Structures are given as structure tokens and as C-alpha cells.
């Protein structure tokens, strides 16, 4: 692209961002309208008839009727409905037939969960969320020339655990659906082409991405930080470059999300030109596009409250565990997020927790998950996966554990990240390395996202298993009574940072003196 189209589209994008300026006072009215629209569109579905959504629309306070009449649900509660939708039934959770599903892992009832991605949710939420990112970026960066080149969007594929390969139903990463369904005109301002973007085998895909991107004029990149590090390093290696700006001198922004950016921030600073680069965080989940950073100097993300998602919040602490709407939340409090949306999720418990950093307008930061987990590389490893894999690994290696914890080792100095497992044995295996191989194999069987990140070791190196000295975890619990889970003192199985692991290593050093 030789012409800079940014000046021609800036006004339209800035107008899009300007609409959010009244959200400090209009939040309740906008959210009530979104809920009524969702109830109206969902009233003819099986779920809507079951709970009589139509009747809720004829009351003065639709939210109160909705909150008292519809129970919050987890994925396992709606799995039977979703499987019927995948088989082609119409008007189940949402109107019409749904052909697209975002595969995500982390449930106890199966290797994967499948989130409906309806035409209404694409049109009313996912794509508008992407436009909001560009809009808020352009309003903040007056010198931007983002449309003088192309955007590099790194996505997944339609590989899925159900083994479905059908022209009628597409199941895979959300990014694959977004790329597959995008307006063809967008292909003039983005790379790679659809065929390359949707390749399932990363051993084939990575060199194809490098070939497609290394000689383009890339001005912006979008994706998960851990995935993009691998791609950027490969491109730099191919071109013999010390920084990615030697390859793409006009690169100016990374729209990132999916996992915390903090562990990767220093590495991205190392391989980019700080004078040219901006980083803008998004909250774009399989279930919807929820928030965007609207101030580059403020880590808080603005909740998108007018695009087909109605939000509720359950306090993580305290005795009052009732969901409450946007207009009743308090600054500084951590809440579990509950959504109702145009993909047929009704009072759906995401499993994500957010901290409210502003109420007028409502801005959040990601606090974590409702259970212990590791998602440092987009692998969504849950405690349930770890427990099952550990049991199988012990059985297969004739070993037994007393206690364990795991944490990520983050990518640095050109090396990929990995998981580090610290285990106190009741009966140690003959070889920790062999145990690690079996553990890795079992985790890949249980968790599709972990399996994808471990594929060919492109994004995540094999796990490391270390033996803990006898009595380590008992000593830890005695000295760390503030570390609690579920109201009881216990070892945190999975941590998304290294705080606990490093304290355990310090305790080991003290015990060895």
C-alpha cells in the first residue's frame, strides 16, 4: 500500500470513539437497552420460552425479572444445548442455526468447550470490538499512519477435538472464525491471506507466515503475545535483524490480548524501537469482545457496554455472592464476570475475574480466573487438567506424590517459555525426565489449548520437573497462612506467575543451610 489512507478514515473512527464519552452517565440506560434487545431476540428460542423472556419484556424492570427468573450457569449446564446446536438444531439458545463455534478448553466435563459464534454476535459484538480498538488508538495517537500499510493478524485454525470437518459447521479457534467470516475488503489491509492464516499445522504455518510477512509494509500487529514472539523472532532471524523495526520500519502498534502482557513487556521492548511502538490491550474472549484500553497511559480497559453484551458481577470476597449489574459495582472490588450475549449465553459464568478501576465510566483490569490455572502462554491449563494428568503420570511411572505446585518460566533471551513443576514425592520415579514426558503427554490429551501450544515445541517447551525436599510444603503452609484457596490452607497447584514458586525456592535454600 503506497497511499496513507489514515487521514481519510480517521474522522469516522474518531466519531466511533467519541460515542463512549457519555458512558460515565449513560451506562445504566445503555445496559438496560442491551438486555431488552437480547431478551426480545431470544424470546422465540427454546431457552427463551423456558424462562418466558417475552413476559419479562412487559414489565417495568426487565432486569429484576431476568435476575430472579434465570439462574446463572456454567458451561457444563449448557453443554447439551450447544451439542444440539452443533448438530444443526435451530432456535435453541439463540435464534436461527449457528454454524460457527469457538473451541476453548478448561472444563471438567470434556477436553474442550464449544462457544456458539452466531451471525448476530459477529455483526453486533466481535467485529465492532475490533473497530473500537482502532478508533481509540487513532484518537490517542494523532501522528498515526496505521493505514499506510497492512495489519498482521495472527490467528488459529479450524482444528477441533470433535473431529468435525464440514462445510456446514466450523469449529476451532475464535480467530479462525473471525478471519473466515471477515469482509473480503479487509484483505486489502491485512496479512496473511486466508489460506495461510487458517493452516492447522504450525510446522507448516510458521515458515508460511514468515514468507508472507517479512517483506510487507506492516504497521500494526494483532494477537496473543506469546504466539507473536515466536513469529517475530523467526522473521528477525530470517532477515538477520536485531529488532523487528529493521524489518518493518513503520510498525507502530501491537493490539494484544488473551493473556497477561506483563511477563512479555520487557522482551517486546527489547525487540522493538521504543520511540515508534505502542501497545494497546484488549479483552477479546471466545465468548465476546468485552473491553479495550482507551488510554495508553492507563492500564484500565473500558468495558464496551453497547454492543450485544449485558454484564453482571459477582463479588469474589464477602458473603454477598449475588450477581449485580454494572450500575451497582464498586471501585477497587474484584468480581467474577457473568455475561448475557447474542451468542446465546444467558447469565453465563465466564470463570474470569476482573477488578473495577473506575465506575464512571466502568473500566476494568483482568484479575485472573476463579480457580487456580496457568495461562501464561494461552494454554488455559486448569487445576482439573493438572490433577488428572498427574494421577496418570504417577500410575505410568510407578510413583506417588505428596504435594506439588507449578508455575510458568517466561520466555527470555530468545528462549521459549515452559512450565516448571515442583513435586514432593512419596515415592519418586526412577527418572524425573521420564515423568515429565508422561506428564506432558497426558496434559496434551486432556487440554486442546495446551496441546496446540506444545505442538512441535513452537510456542512452549517441554515441562521441567524438579524434586522438592521432604517437608517443604508443610513448612510453606506454616509460614504462608495468607495463601489460601477456597477458605482453607492448601498448596496452590497452579500459579500464573512465579511469586509462590520463587518463595518456595527461597525456603528450600533456607532448609538446606
Residue indicated by cell numbers 525436599: 469
Q: What does the block give as the cell for 368? A: 485472573
Residue 112 C-alpha cell reads as 474442550
β-strands 253-256, 218-223 pairing: parallel
Residue 221: how many CB atoms within 10 A of its CB?
Answer: 22
Cell of 90: 435451530
Contacts by 163-168, CB closer than 8 A, 24 or more apart: 164/86, 168/88, 168/99
Instruction: Round to whole Å and give the CA distance between 298 and 432.
Output: 44
Local confidence pLDDT in tens for the 513 residues of the chain:
579 999 999 999 999 999 999 999 999 999 999 999 999 999 999 999 999 999 999 988 999 999 999 999 999 999 999 999 999 999 999 999 999 999 986 544 455 799 999 999 999 999 999 999 999 999 999 999 999 999 999 988 888 778 777 778 999 889 999 999 988 888 889 999 999 999 988 889 999 999 999 889 999 999 988 889 889 999 999 999 999 999 999 999 999 998 788 878 888 999 999 999 999 999 999 999 999 999 999 999 999 999 999 999 999 888 888 999 999 999 999 999 999 999 999 999 998 999 999 999 999 998 877 778 899 998 989 887 898 899 999 999 999 888 899 999 998 877 899 999 999 998 999 999 999 999 999 999 999 899 999 998 989 999 999 999 999 988 887 775 433 333 335 688 899 999 999 999 999 999 998
Q: Within 144-242, where are the H helices?
A: 174-181, 194-197, 202-213, 225-239
Distance CA 208, CA 222 (A): 17
Query: Can you say whether residue 353 is alpha, beta or left, with left for phi > 0 and alpha for psi between -120 and 50 degrees?
Result: beta
> Of all helices (H) and strands (E), which one includes residue 297?
none
CA distance 330 to 307: 22
SS3 146: helix
Distances (CA, A) of 461 to 108, 230, 418: 25, 12, 5
* Other beta carbons less than 10 A from residue 398's beta carbon: 9
Cα 80 from chain centroid (whole Å): 24
Gap between the Cα atoms of 453 and 376, Å rounded:
11
| pTM summary value | 0.84
- Residue 344's region, left for phi above 0, alpha for psi from -120 to 50, else beta, is left
Amino acid at each position: 500500500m503506497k497511499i496513507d489512507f489514515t487521514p481519510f478514515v480517521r474522522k469516522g473512527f474518531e466519531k466511533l470513539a467519541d460515542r463512549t464519552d457519555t458512558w460515565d452517565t449513560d451506562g445504566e440506560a445503555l445496559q438496560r437497552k442491551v438486555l431488552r434487545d437480547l431478551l426480545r431476540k431470544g424470546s422465540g428460542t427454546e431457552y427463551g420460552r423456558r424462562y418466558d423472556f417475552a413476559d419479562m419484556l412487559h414489565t417495568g424492570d426487565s432486569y429484576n425479572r431476568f435476575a430472579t427468573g434465570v439462574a446463572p450457569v456454567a458451561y457444563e449446564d449448557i453443554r447439551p444445548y450447544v451439542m444440539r446446536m452443533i448438530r444443526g438444531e435451530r432456535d435453541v439458545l439463540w435464534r436461527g442455526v449457528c454454524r460457527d463455534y469457538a473451541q476453548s478448553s478448561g472444563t471438567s466435563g470434556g477436553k474442550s468447550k464449544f462457544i456458539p459464534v452466531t451471525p448476530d454476535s459477529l455483526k453486533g459484538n466481535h467485529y465492532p470490538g475490533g473497530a473500537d480498538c482502532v478508533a481509540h488508538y487513532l484518537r490517542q495517537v494523532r501522528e498515526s499512519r496505521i493505514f499506510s500499510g497492512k495489519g498482521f493478524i495472527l490467528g488459529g485454525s479450524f482444528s477441533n477435538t470433535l473431529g468435525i470437518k464440514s462445510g456446514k459447521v466450523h469449529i476451532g479457534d475464535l480467530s479462525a472464525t473471525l478471519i473466515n467470516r471477515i469482509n473480503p475488503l479487509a484483505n486489502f489491509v491485512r496479512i496473511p491471506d486466508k489460506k495461510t492464516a487458517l493452516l492447522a499445522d504450525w510446522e507448516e504455518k510458521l515458515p508460511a507466515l514468515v514468507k508472507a510477512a517479512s517483506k510487507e509494509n506492516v504497521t500494526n500487529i494483532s494477537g496473543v503475545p506469546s504466539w507473536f514472539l515466536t513469529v517475530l523472532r523467526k522473521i528477525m532471524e530470517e532477515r538477520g535483524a536485531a529488532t523487528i523495526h529493521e524489518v518493518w520500519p513503520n510498525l507502530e502498534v501491537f493490539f494484544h490480548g488473551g493473556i497477561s502482557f506483563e511477563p512479555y513487556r520487557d522482551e517486546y521492548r527489547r525487540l522493538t524501537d521504543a520511540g515508534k511502538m505502542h501497545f494497546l490491550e484488549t479483552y477479546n474472549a471466545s465468548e465476546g469482545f468485552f473491553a479495550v484500553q482507551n488510554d495508553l497511559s492507563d492500564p484500565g480497559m473500558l468495558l464496551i457496554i453497547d454492543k450485544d453484551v449485558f454484564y453482571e458481577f459477582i463479588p469474589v470476597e464477602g458473603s454477598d455472592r449475588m450477581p449485580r449489574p454494572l450500575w451497582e459495582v464498586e471501585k477497587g472490588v474484584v468480581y467474577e464476570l457473568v455475561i448475557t450475549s447474542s451468542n446465546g449465553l444467558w447469565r453465563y459464568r465466564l470463570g474470569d475475574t476482573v477488578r473495577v478501576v473506575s465506575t464512571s465510566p466502568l473500566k476494568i483490569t483482568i484479575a485472573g480466573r476463579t480457580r487456580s490455572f496457568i495461562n501464561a502462554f494461552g494454554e488455559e491449563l486448569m487445576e482439573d487438567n493438572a490433577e488428572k494428568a498427574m494421577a496418570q503420570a504417577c500410575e505410568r511411572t510407578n510413583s506417588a506424590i505428596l504435594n506439588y505446585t507449578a508455575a510458568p518460566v517466561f520466555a527470555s533471551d530468545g528462549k521459549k517459555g515452559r512450565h516448571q513443576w515442583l513435586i514432593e514425592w512419596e515415592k519418586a520415579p526412577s527418572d524425573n525426565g521420564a515423568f515429565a514426558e508422561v506428564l506432558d503427554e497426558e496434559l496434551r490429551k486432556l487440554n486442546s489449548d495446551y496441546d496446540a501450544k506444545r505442538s512441535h515445541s513452537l510456542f512452549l517447551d517441554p515441562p521441567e520437573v524438579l524434586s522438592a525436599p521432604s517437608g517443604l510444603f508443610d513448612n510453606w503452609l506454616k509460614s504462608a497462612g495468607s495463601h489460601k484457596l477456597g477458605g482453607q490452607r492448601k498448596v496452590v497447584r497452579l500459579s500464573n506467575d512465579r511469586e509462590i514458586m520463587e518463595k518456595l525456592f527461597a525456603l528450600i535454600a533456607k532448609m538446606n543451610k
